[in-house]
């Protein structure tokens, strides 16, 4: 029986992309809670040192959710995974994962980190009390880019949370954190 190439390639993609993603997701998994805390502290320190807007927000945030390493891969179907910590002041309050799935015109793989500065008591309460926070639903999250950062000041901070994406490596068109689900985990 002669099977056409046009059927073999999609079949391979359906099975290989999820396997590749599972392998990459393992790289985003910290080995211990101490490793995750160390990676999160280093990522936050690096972000605050290099980004004045992040430094400003860090000083007035009620809490900080830090994901030092997210791995994203996709070829038509894709997803991302990483683990992070919630810090209230200098104290680690909990551990979380960040998961997203997508489909559409996409191809590639990349890693990045992101930090969410929770600016209101309501945003912190929402994260503490929900079974999972889907970014884009619940408290308002502003993804800070260079344009938004230029307009941030203590008088313009009116949203519940501000997110910074940093340390992007790899090739993948487009990056968004909307639709990402954040859930509490035990490291």
The alpha carbons of the chain give a radius of gyration, in whole angstroms, of 18
d(CA 118, CA 162): 7
Banded pLDDT at 144 (limits 50, 70, 90): confident
Banded pLDDT at 119 (limits 50, 70, 90): very high
d(CA 91, CA 83): 17
Banded pLDDT at 86 (limits 50, 70, 90): very high
d(CA 163, CA 81): 17
Comparing 102 with 95, which gets the higher pLDDT?
Answer: 95
Instruction: Count Cβ atoms below 10 Å from residue 134 Cβ, excluding itself.
Output: 15
| Terminal CA-CA length for the chain | 50
Comparing 158 with 120, which gets the higher pLDDT?
Answer: 120
The model's pTM is 0.76
| Tokens at 147, concatenated | 């344009």
The ranges assigned to domains in the chain are: 5-185
pLDDT above 60: residue 28: no
For residue 94, the model assigns a pLDDT of 94
For residue 177, the model assigns a pLDDT of 62
DSSP readout, 66-126? EEEEEEEEEEEEEEEEEEEEEEETTEEEEEEEEEEEEEEEEEEEEEEEEEEEE-SHHHHHH
* 52-60 helix and 33-50 helix, angle to the nearest 10 degrees: 120
Length of the chain: 187
d(CA 97, CA 101): 13
pLDDT above 70: residue 149: no
Nearest to 141 by CA among 114, 160, 120: 160
Comparing 3 with 123, which gets the higher pLDDT?
Answer: 123
For residue 6, the model assigns a pLDDT of 53
Nearest to 158 by CA among 182, 179, 141: 141
User: Among 11-25, 114-128, 133-147, 161-175, whose mean pLDDT is lowest?
Assistant: 11-25
């Amino acid at each position: 029986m002669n099977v056409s190439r046009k059927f073999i390639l999609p079949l391979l993609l359906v099975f290989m992309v999820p396997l590749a993603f599972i392998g990459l997701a393992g790289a985003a998994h910290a080995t211990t809670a101490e490793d995750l805390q160390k990676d999160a502290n280093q990522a936050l320190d690096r972000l605050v040192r290099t980004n004045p807007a992040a430094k400003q927000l860090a000083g007035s945030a009620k809490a900080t959710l830090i994901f030092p390493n997210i791995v994203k891969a996709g070829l038509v179907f894709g997803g991302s995974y990483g683990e992070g910590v919630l810090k209230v002041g200098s104290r680690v309050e909990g551990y979380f994962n960040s998961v997203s799935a997508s489909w559409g015109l996409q191809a590639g793989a990349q890693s990045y980190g992101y930090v969410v500065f929770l600016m209101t008591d309501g945003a912190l309460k929402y994260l503490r009390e929900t079974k999972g926070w889907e970014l884009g639903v619940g408290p308002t999250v502003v993804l800070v880019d260079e344009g938004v950062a230029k307009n941030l000041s203590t008088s313009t901070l009116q949203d519940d949370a501000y997110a910074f994406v940093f340390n992007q490596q790899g090739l993948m068109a487009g990056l968004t954190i909307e639709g990402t689900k954040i859930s509490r985990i035990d490291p």
